[in-house]
Structure 1
Amino acid sequence: MTDFITDFADQADILPVVLTVACIMGLRGWWQGMYVWSVVIVLTLGIMLLLKIAGLYYAWLTQTVVISPSGHVASACVAYGGLLVLLWRRQLVRYPVAMLVPLLGVAVVIGYTRLQLQAHTMGEVIVGALVGCIGGMVLGMKCGPVPPSLWGYLLPCVVCIAMVFHGFHMGAETTIRHVFSPEELFPTHL
């Protein structure tokens, strides 16, 4: 069950979901939502990439274990948690701190699976949750009012795409470590 849940947060599942959401927002004419959604997702994933690279270099310079914040937690938080925030935006906009409830709910579920699989430490899960929750909060505050007609198209499509791509693995962590490995770029250090 743990693998089943955590697979929804793999980049091979998240990226098609994110693209589907952006396309549906655009097709339904909600340009502000599409723009904010796209920018927030790209920034969140970009920040996670930079943090993962920083963790590689920190470990290399200090000769310690690699620190790798949880991309699964951050991406699930901003994508799935962000969709929940948008779904309930009308109720949550009066109390922006309440947006943390669905965001942290997603973070706790995915974070728990990552810890159970021993893929990350508690600190790495917390960093991923922090980045994902910030992205989800920005999404909720900047998207503006959500057209009610959007949900009739969006939710079924997101569920279908998430199920179709469920179980696929992109191997983003391995690719990041291979492409940005300090040992490959600076082989004569120390």
Structure 2
Amino acid sequence: MSWWHAITFLGDSAFTVPGACVVALWLGMNGWWRQMLRWLFAFGAAMMVVVLSKLLYMGWNIAPPLLYNFTGVSGHTASASALYLSTAALLTQGRPPQARAIAVAGIGALVLAVALSRLMIKVHSTSEVVTGLLLGGCAAWWFCRGLSQVGPRLRGGLALAAAACFMLMGTSGQPAPTHALLQQIAMALSGHAQVYTRTIPL
């Protein structure tokens, strides 16, 4: 497995969806119930947009007319953007602005690496990756807008990191079969015997 495949796995739903649940539990354990619900809505809404965009193309060949070679928003890119940028903001809550900016910039570089990996391993087009970045970034931005500027710092950051490591080991590096599942759903909903697939080479 190449480095690009290792990097791209950091955006796989086998890792990011459980990661989003861990963040929600972390917020709940600290009594940040409103922020927990806000996070679940932000991440869930972003993932729903990803799923709908893919189903529309697979089942009915529907795609935004202005986006070139578009078969659906990149879920890896969107989920990585939403999860990692939001987590960086939470972990640096209450820190000096300069420290927060450095942390967010570092995580932003990781998110961009995940996005680039989708292009390098030739599973997504530029339009799909860019829309993934925008969608995930908007979800993180909306969630972070609801964070209190002044308040108690979140406890349990080490536990969060340990849970992330545990999840990464538990996946055994195997991606979730989400694409095959979406294909089955698209055929069931559309009534077609086959799904629409990409016609323009990457």
TM (norm. structure 2) is: 0.75
Distance in structure 1 (CA, Å) of the matches to 2:94 and 2:165: 22
1:102 CA drift (Å)? 5.8
Task: Flag as ranges the 4+ runs of structure 1 deviating above 6 A.
Answer: 97-100
One-letter amino acid of the counterpart of residue 176, structure 2: M
One-letter amino acid of the counterpart of residue 82, structure 1: S
Distance in structure 1 (CA, Å) of the matches to 2:47 and 2:29: 24
Distance in structure 1 (CA, Å) of the matches to 2:55 and 2:102: 32
What is the number of residues matched between the two proteins?
Answer: 185
Distance in structure 2 (CA, Å) of the matches to 1:72 and 1:132: 10
- Partner residue of 2:91 out of 69, 87, 90: 87
One-letter amino acid of the counterpart of residue 154, structure 1: L
- Partner residue of 2:49 out of 37, 47, 57: 47
Distance in structure 2 (CA, Å) of the matches to 1:66 and 1:172: 18
Distance 1:91 1:7, change over 3 A: same
Distance 1:100 1:84, change over 3 A: closer
Gaps of 5+ in 1: none
Distance in structure 1 (CA, Å) of the matches to 2:102 and 2:156: 22
- Contact 1:74/1:129 (CA < 8 Å) preserved in 2? yes
Q: Which moved more, 1:162-171 or 1:117-126?
A: 162-171
Distance 1:153 1:4, change over 3 A: same
Distance 1:170 1:9, change over 3 A: same
Distance 1:139 1:163, change over 3 A: farther
Q: Which moved more, 1:82-91 or 1:7-16?
A: 82-91
Tell me the percent identity: 19
Gaps of 5+ in 2: 64-68, 194-202
Distance in structure 2 (CA, Å) of the matches to 1:42 and 1:56: 21
1:18 CA drift (Å)? 1.4
Match in the other structure for 1:168: 174
Considering fraction of residues, name the structure with more helix: 1
